Amino acid sequence: MPESLMVIRSSSTLRKHWEWMTFSADSVSSVHTLTDDLPLESLADQPGAGNVHLLIPPEGLLYRSLTLPNAKYKLTAQTLQWLAEETLPDNTQDWHWTVVDKQNESVEVIGIQSEKLSRYLERLHTAGLNVTRVFARWLLSSLGSR
């Protein structure tokens, strides 16, 4: 690894129960839990604060299987948004969709409300942390079992 990496796992709320650990080329820390005595801002001085991977809980995430009109269909952020929104009973909220897998005309996506994702990112940015990747916690555990 060229630089340190910090992994932060969030609970269902933005205010409680953050767990974190760091990785570098020569070490891996144990898992630490933040408490009221140790706020999220205290992590800004830790190794990896500039390269944070955020693990978010599955609550509020949507998983969808979509079918493209044909295998050569150009999948852009906008067309992905349109296809995914067709599967929602109420598409009044803005969603951020990410492709998990694509096989011919079948596309597997995960969505999070854009406002919720923005709140997570803003909370960590305000604490002095630079999020470089966001993962769904349950997706990582299911990939590990393949």
| pLDDT bucket at 143, cuts 50 / 70 / 90 | very low
Q: What is the pTM of this model?
A: 0.81
Domain identity same for 129 and 102:
no
What CATH number did the domain enclosing 131 receive? 3.30.420.380
Residue 66 clears pLDDT 90, i.e. is over it: yes
Local structure of residue 33 (DSSP, 8 states): E
Domain identity same for 44 and 23:
yes
**Amino acid at residue number 9:** R
**Residue 75's domain spans which residues?**
61-114
Q: How high is the pLDDT of residue 26?
A: 86
Domain identity same for 106 and 36:
no
Query: What sign has the CA pseudo-torsion 135, 136, 141, 146?
Result: negative
- The position carrying tokens 């390269």 is 51
As for how many domains the chain has, the answer is 2
